Chain A
Amino acid sequence: MPQLTFRKYLVLAGITVFSTAGDSLLARGMKDLGNVSLHHFSGLLLAVLNPWVTAGILLLLTFFACYMSALSWADLTYVLPATSLAYVLVALVGHFRLHEVILPARWLGIALITAGVGFVAAGPSVTPSHQHEKSPDAVSQEVRT
């Protein structure tokens, strides 16, 4: 079983942090714009000019790069629970920075998600299948031809 290096844990943390930050910035930017309906589609195009929205999109692109990187060396069923930590992060940021009240049901939700992530993280990051048995070079040959 290949051990995850520190750098790979950083990529997994990047998935959580960048998706949370990107979504928050997008939400902040969209508040400036007000309601966007399908009848005012040009409003969506102009949204890109808003600095909050631009920053949000850049962070979400970084999230996507981290996500793709993680999927290149870990199972989907290993990476996905890590993405769910973003829900926990949003709630905790809301609680400690914005002093939002977290109801007991939400604390239970936080506990369940954290437990789920812990369960997966304690196991192997990649399980053998016929694809993984190929060396990276054999796969690259295939892609080139």
Chain B
Amino acid sequence: MKDLHAWAAIAIIGMAATTGDVLLSYSMKRVGDVGELWKRRGVLAVIRRVLATPTFALGVMAMAVAFYSLLFALSWGNLSLVVPASASLTFVANAVAARIFLHERVGRRRWIAALLVAGGVVLMAL
């Protein structure tokens, strides 16, 4: 039963974190290069434009869901399973989601990288 809870938490954390990352990435692409914008219009213009992007707030909310789900999962104690499994799931899910929703070209190079990093994260937690 405890394992089922842990895997449910891993799925929720992975999904929420991926949703958050995709929404935040989408928002920041709409805002445009913030370094350029800062140089031209100042830091307040950057903050105003980021906050005026509706998907940004949604992204932050999804990240908050991921964060609090992780906190809850950690309070059950299964630290050595939940942290690495949800982190590596997020890396792979993000590669899939970035390709579908952000139309990024996830070529062979990036697939290999996502899998290497996901595997590495699991090994680091052993």
Contact = CB atoms under 8 A, between A and B. Distances in A.
Closest 7 CB pairs of A and B: A109-B123, A112-B120, A116-B116, A113-B120, A136-B32, A127-B105, A129-B103
Given A80-B94, A84-B91, A113-B117, A143 B124 contact: no
Interface stretch (A13-21, A49-57, A70-78): A70-78
A116 B120 CA distance: 9
Interface of B: 21-22, 24-25, 28-37, 49-50, 52-53, 75, 91, 94-95, 98-99, 102-107, 109-110, 112-117, 119-126
A98 B25 CA distance: 36
Interface residues of A, number: 49
Interface in A114-139: 114-117, 119-120, 122-123, 127-132, 136, 139
A76 B123 contact: no
B120 A111 contact: yes
A95 interface: no
A131 B103 contact: yes
A136 B49 CA distance: 12
A37 interface: yes
Given A77-B94, A129-B103, A123 B110 contact: yes
Contacts of A37: 75
Contacts of A136: 32-33, 36-37
Contacts of B104: 75-77, 127, 129
Nearest to B96: A77
Residue in B21, B30, B110 with the greatest tally of chain A CB atoms within 10 Å: B110
Interface of A: 7-8, 37-38, 67-69, 71-73, 75-81, 84, 87-88, 91, 103, 105-106, 108-117, 119-120, 122-123, 127-132, 136, 139-140, 142-143
Contacts of A119: 109-110, 112-113, 116
Contacts of B117: 80-81, 84, 112-113, 116-117
Contacts of A68: 24, 28, 34, 50
9 contacts: A72-B35, A73-B34, A112-B119, A112-B123, A113-B124, A117-B117, A119-B113, A131-B102, A136-B36
